[in-house]
Amino acid sequence: MKKVIKNLKKAANRISKAIESKEKIILYGDADLDGASSVIILKEAIGSLGGEVSEIYFPDREIEGYGITKTALKHLKKLAPALLIAVDCGIGNIEEVKIAKELGFSVIIIDHHKVLGKIPKADIVVDPLQKGDNYPFKGFSATGIVFKTVEALLGDKMSESLRGSFLQLVALATIADMMPKVEDNKVYIEEGMMYLKNSWRPGIKLFLEANFLKRYPIQEKVSRMISMMNIRDVEDKFPTSFRVLTATDSKELENMIWDLKEKTEIKRERIREMAQEAEERIIKKEEPIIFEGDESWDYPLISAVASIAVRNFGKPSFVFKKMKKESQGTVRVPDGVDSVVLMGKCKDLVITYGGHPKASGFRIKNKNLKKFKACLIKEYEKDKDIH
Ligand SMILES: [Mn+2]
């Protein structure tokens, strides 16, 4: 028998039922390129079946935190009862899902993050990393799983052009999320790249034709476009990636792309400054891990700083934006270290944490920062002794 991702068919059937019975549907996605692409594919697939999406929501990580947030539920509750589909939002929202259910939402979670112990009591959870999932490949982006879901949802109503337009987004998201380029992903990226070259999505088309990318070969064009779009800048509800991938007005798009280009240049300079600041502090300390944060650091850029720190020092790097009472952080680690497992050993000290072994995040009360750092060092050294 052909292996399928656990609960995938169930999720497709539930969405199909919601379309038929004209239930309200809410799409809820992480604001990065993977989350935005997931939302777009679902929106267009539902649209192609004559369904309608009542609301799209991207939480602002800096203000609300990651995943399904209480701020979001407060905003969305007027729409209940409705089908709430959360994509690329992690698998740790036990409490928030409980609240959503009490508010009258039916909840589907589609995700690709590591499961942390218990899973939320959503109506349907699709995550190849959950227990009992026998699908052999585990390295999908969230968008890759969403694509498989809409394949099941649309069946033979998936036209060649729809498939091509979805695969472009799967390729972008898979590359953006740095998922392994093997097995199913390899096929998605190869096919997606083919469609990307001749994209009829106005945003992609204009991006790849942009003057400042002219001199690069297509692969490089695409990778530059991805890094420019993979920012979680939620403004008036939507991240830029979502706008660029869905807008149709070419004047508006040209402005957005130009704006992104300028932002990217400023961003690059700012990352360099922050990385240097961090570096000056790191070399003064001789510690087994890097644990640095600052109130002045720009949250959307700290992941880049953490990546640079791993590259330069070869140590697990925890970099955070300090806010009034809490800090929101990002983690990058060298090969052989699992950041989610490591944080799991200190999980009582954080508000939330999660992600992928090599790239993850956390949110913590400022009063626990010192203890968290001490715990991480202790646990990391313990593990190192074993190896
Ligand atoms: Mn993702």
261 alpha carbon to ligand 1 midpoint, in Å? 23
387 alpha carbon to ligand 1 midpoint, in Å? 30
Enumerate the H helices of the chain as residue ranges. Answer: 8-20, 33-48, 61-64, 70-76, 94-103, 142-154, 160-176, 183-197, 202-209, 218-229, 240-246, 250-284, 302-313, 339-344, 369-386
85 alpha carbon to ligand 1 midpoint, in Å? 15
88 alpha carbon to ligand 1 midpoint, in Å? 5
Instruction: Choose the weakest-confidence range: 75-79, 229-233, 282-286.
Output: 229-233
Dihedral angle over CA of 118, 360, 382, 386, nearest 10: 90
Segments of the chain assigned to CATH 3.10.310.30: 287-386
Closest C-alpha to 97, from 85, 115, 88, 113:
85
177 alpha carbon to ligand 1 midpoint, in Å? 6
102 alpha carbon to ligand 1 midpoint, in Å? 27
The predicted pLDDT at position 386 comes to 55
Residue 322 has pLDDT above 70, yes or no: yes
8 A C-beta contact, residue 174 and residue 143: yes
Over residues 304-329, mean pLDDT: 96
155 alpha carbon to ligand 1 midpoint, in Å? 25
17 alpha carbon to ligand 1 midpoint, in Å? 26
Higher-scoring residue by pLDDT: 117, 331: 331
8 A C-beta contact, residue 17 and residue 51: no
35 alpha carbon to ligand 1 midpoint, in Å? 6
The percent of residues in the chain predicted with pLDDT above 90, rounded, is: 90
Over residues 145-160, mean pLDDT: 97
The predicted pLDDT at position 79 comes to 98
32 alpha carbon to ligand 1 midpoint, in Å? 7
382 alpha carbon to ligand 1 midpoint, in Å? 30
Over residues 139-164, mean pLDDT: 97
Over residues 73-81, mean pLDDT: 98
The predicted pLDDT at position 183 comes to 96
Please give the Cα distance from 232 to 62 (Å, whole number).
9
Instruction: Choose the weakest-confidence range: 22-26, 87-91, 382-386.
Output: 382-386
312 alpha carbon to ligand 1 midpoint, in Å? 25
179 alpha carbon to ligand 1 midpoint, in Å? 9
Q: In CATH, what class is 8-193? A: alpha beta
pLDDT, tens digit, 9 for 90 and up, residues 255-294? 999 999 998 889 899 999 999 999 999 999 989 999 999 9
Please give the Cα distance from 323 to 225 (Å, whole number).
31
160 alpha carbon to ligand 1 midpoint, in Å? 25
38 alpha carbon to ligand 1 midpoint, in Å? 9
Please give the Cα distance from 127 to 122 (Å, whole number).
12
The predicted pLDDT at position 234 comes to 87
8 A C-beta contact, residue 62 and residue 321: yes
Contact partners, residue 23, CB within 8 Å, separation at least 6? 17, 81, 82, 83, 106
8 A C-beta contact, residue 300 and residue 233: yes
The predicted pLDDT at position 385 comes to 62
pLDDT, tens digit, 9 for 90 and up, residues 5-50? 999 999 999 999 999 999 999 999 999 999 999 999 999 999 999 9
Mapped onto helix, strand or coil, the DSSP state of residue 321 is strand
- Work out the mean pLDDT of the chain and round it to a whole number: 95
The predicted pLDDT at position 73 comes to 98
Mapped onto helix, strand or coil, the DSSP state of residue 318 is strand
pLDDT, tens digit, 9 for 90 and up, residues 175-207? 999 899 999 999 999 999 999 999 999 999 999
8 A C-beta contact, residue 292 and residue 302: no
Contact partners, residue 264, CB within 8 Å, separation at least 6? 227, 228
pLDDT, tens digit, 9 for 90 and up, residues 284-304? 998 999 999 999 999 989 999
141 alpha carbon to ligand 1 midpoint, in Å? 6
| CATH fold label, 287-386 | Diaminopimelate Epimerase; Chain A, domain 1 (3.10.310)
The predicted pLDDT at position 199 comes to 95
The predicted pLDDT at position 231 comes to 78
Whether pTM exceeds 0.75: yes
Q: How confident is residue 233, by pLDDT bands cut at 50, 70 and 90?
A: confident
140 alpha carbon to ligand 1 midpoint, in Å? 9
Higher-scoring residue by pLDDT: 170, 383: 170
Segments of the chain assigned to CATH 3.90.1640.30: 8-193
The percent of residues in the chain predicted with pLDDT above 70, rounded, is: 99
8 A C-beta contact, residue 38 and residue 87: yes
- If phi > 0 it is left, if psi is from -120 to 50 it is alpha, else beta; for residue 320 that is beta
Please give the Cα distance from 5 to 201 (Å, whole number).
29
